[in-house]
Amino acid sequence: MPQDFDAGSTDPSQPPEARGSWRLWTTEPRRLALTSVGVAAAGLLIGYLITVLAVFPSQSAGADLKRVPELVGRSAEEARSRVERAGLVCEEVGLHHPEALGTVVAQEPLGGQMAEPGSPVRVTVSLGSKMRPVPDVVGLSHLQAEVALERAGYESELIWVDADADVGEVVGTQPAPGTPLGLPGQVSVLVSAGPRRVRVPDLMTRSLAEAQATLDRLGLRLGEVSEDSASLAAPGTVLRQSPRAGVEVARATRVSVSVAVAPPKPLPPELRPDTTPVVPDTLRAQQDTASEGPATTPAPADTSSGG
What is the predicted pLDDT for the residue at 5? 45
What is the predicted pLDDT for the residue at 95? 87
Which residues lie below 8 Å from residue 286, measured CB to CB, with a gap of 6+?
Answer: none
Q: How far apart are CA 153 and CA 234, in angstroms?
A: 49
Tens of pLDDT along the chain (307 residues)?
444 444 444 555 555 555 555 555 555 666 666 677 777 777 777 877 676 555 555 544 455 899 999 999 999 999 999 999 999 999 999 988 878 889 999 999 999 999 999 999 999 999 888 888 999 999 999 999 999 999 999 999 999 999 999 999 999 999 999 999 988 889 999 999 989 999 999 999 999 999 999 999 999 999 999 999 888 889 999 999 999 999 999 989 999 999 999 888 776 776 667 666 665 666 666 666 666 555 555 555 555 544 3
Map residue 125 onto helix, strand or coil: strand
- Enumerate the domain spans of the chain: 16-55, 66-128, 131-192, 197-260
Which amino acid would we find at residue 114?
M
Instruction: Please state, as a whole number, how many other Cβ atoms lie within 10 Å of the Cβ of residue 167.
Output: 21
What is the predicted pLDDT for the residue at 61? 47
Burial of 214 (0-12, 13-18, 19+ CB in 10 A): middle
Q: How far apart are CA 90 and CA 76, in angstroms?
A: 10
Within this chain, domains 66-128 and 197-260 share the same CATH topology: yes
What is the predicted pLDDT for the residue at 296? 54
The DSSP secondary-structure symbol of 74 reads: S
What is the predicted pLDDT for the residue at 7? 46
Among residues 206, 205, 259, 202, the alpha carbon closest in space to that of 235 is found at 259
Among residues 262, 264, 260, the alpha carbon closest in space to that of 207 is found at 260
Alpha-carbon distances, residue 37 vs 42, 48, 235 (angstroms)? 9, 17, 101
CATH assignment, 197-260: 3.30.10.20
Terminal C-alpha separation, the chain: 213
The second-level CATH assignment, the architecture, of 131-192 is 2-Layer Sandwich (3.30)
H/E segment holding residue 53: none
Angle at 185 between CA 180 and CA 187, to 5 degrees: 80
CATH assignment, 66-128: 3.30.10.20
What is the predicted pLDDT for the residue at 59? 47
